[in-house]
Amino acid sequence: MKKKKVIFVINEYSFFISHRKKLIESLGEDFNITVITDLSDCSEGDISNSSLYKLEHLDKKKHLTNPRKFYLGLKNLLHLIKRYDPDFIFYVSMENCVIGSILLRFTEAKKSFFLITGIESFLKITSLKRFFVKLSFSVFLTFGIKKNKSCFIFQNKDDLRDIKNSLYRKMKEYLIIPGNGIDQIYYEYRNRSFDKKSLPIKILFASRLLTGKGINEFFIAANELGEQLDNIEFFIAGSYEPNNKLSISEQDFQKIQKSDYVQYLGNIKNQDMKNLYLSYDIFILPSYREGLPASALEAAATGMPLILSDVPGCRECVADGKNGFLIQPKSIGSIKGAIIKMHKNSHLIAAFSAESRSLIEKKFTVSIISNSYKQLIT
């Protein structure tokens, strides 16, 4: 039987590798998959070729801010889509959803799927710019979407509610698929059971060093607790991006590097993340909002208890009091309270560890998420 053809349009190759590669490899066993993404920053040795999918390059830089590049990008993408003549197309990210809605009337795919990601960045856009961005999204989606030929996919119910209320009230066909799936075989399990009298509790923050990840609040809490508590250590892993408007300041980054109580591990490569998680005991990410934090799910798969903010995206990963704690966003006191509770009751860490792994196996494996996609396109 001839395999159906499926295209994924993804902005960055690095995002494809870190977030969607395992899912697309799983789908590639049953479908002919083509991934259209920006390969311009990759050397030939960095590109991961596979018999389960084909890669195609499309320059995505400054598409929405440069009208000429936007037009050329549309033209080149349409050319690639027509060349492969797919049965189904998945547009990943809000930017690509706009592009997909424009191309919908010019392609012959049976159905196009619009994967809403990055809403937390959209909500941080300044008021005037946000008004025009929202207007553009609404116009394109309203006039571009065709009944029975399009479907929206969200990672959590809060994103669905916010997009429906603020951008596209006429949305008819939509569903929630929680993330891209975690490879529970690759992310092996280690139960965090130990005696805090002899071993320090190691707490890990692993994320890009963006203000919205709650890193400044964590850093302040970690320094205060480092002075107060024995047998506890704090670590930060992630890239500092000085040219990113959402990044922490250079002054805050220098404080992290010079801290007596927090060790900065630098930026960790994707292939080294598994060993990073296995080397630490508790994972913390006090974000202001997420789609669905892949790092938290990966950490949970290795058996790390979680401390996450009680915000969209994060609350899907934590059963409060069972595999970790949900904390108030932007609250240094709430961060400290959750850490102190685990420090005083180290038996909780072992129980939370087992529950973290169980949560992944029940809801978030690659197999479970892949089956959700297969049901859409079979």
Q: What's the pLDDT at 148? A: 72
Q: Is residue 339 over pLDDT 80?
A: yes
Q: What's the pLDDT at 133? A: 62
Q: For the chain, which residues make up each domain, given as ranges?
A: 5-176, 201-363
Q: How confident is the model at residue 59 (pLDDT cuts 50, 70, 90)?
A: confident
Strands (E) located in the chain? 5-12, 32-38, 54-57, 88-92, 111-115, 150-154, 174-176, 201-206, 232-237, 262-264, 282-285, 306-309, 324-327
DSSP H helical segments within 51-126, as ranges? 67-84, 94-103, 119-122
pLDDT digits (tens, 9 = 90+) for 124-145: 555 565 566 666 666 666 666 6
Q: How confident is the model at residue 162 (pLDDT cuts 50, 70, 90)?
A: confident
Q: How confident is the model at residue 63 (pLDDT cuts 50, 70, 90)?
A: low
Q: Is residue 348 over pLDDT 70?
A: yes
CA atoms within 13 A on the CB side of 136: 16
Q: Is residue 250 over pLDDT 60?
A: yes
Q: Is residue 170 over pLDDT 70?
A: no
11-25, 86-100, 119-133, 307-321: least confidently modelled range: 119-133
The token pair at 119 is: 């809403």
The token pair at 229 is: 């508590």
d(C-alpha 100, C-alpha 253), whole Å? 38
Q: How confident is the model at residue 196 (pLDDT cuts 50, 70, 90)?
A: low
Q: What's the pLDDT at 27? A: 97
Q: Is residue 120 over pLDDT 70?
A: no
Give CATH for domain 5-176. Answer: 3.40.50.2000
Q: Which of 239, 251, 181 is nearest to 205 (CA)?
A: 239
Q: Which of 231, 183, 161 is nearest to 203 (CA)?
A: 231
Q: How confident is the model at residue 65 (pLDDT cuts 50, 70, 90)?
A: low
Q: Is residue 150 over pLDDT 70?
A: yes
DSSP code for 93: S
How many CB atoms sit inside 10 A of residue 128's CB? 8
% of the chain at pLDDT higher than 70: 88
The token pair at 370 is: 């892949």
More confident: 118 or 149: 149
- 201-363: which CATH topology? Rossmann fold (3.40.50)
Q: What's the pLDDT at 236? A: 98
Q: What's the pLDDT at 287? A: 97
Q: Is residue 197 over pLDDT 60?
A: no
Contact predicate 257/278, CB 8 Å: no
Q: What's the pLDDT at 254? A: 97
Q: What's the pLDDT at 3? A: 94
Average pLDDT over residues 2-8: 96
Average pLDDT over residues 181-196: 87
Q: What's the pLDDT at 330? A: 97
% of the chain at pLDDT higher than 90: 69
pLDDT digits (tens, 9 = 90+) for 266-316: 999 999 999 999 999 999 999 999 999 999 999 999 999 999 999 999 999
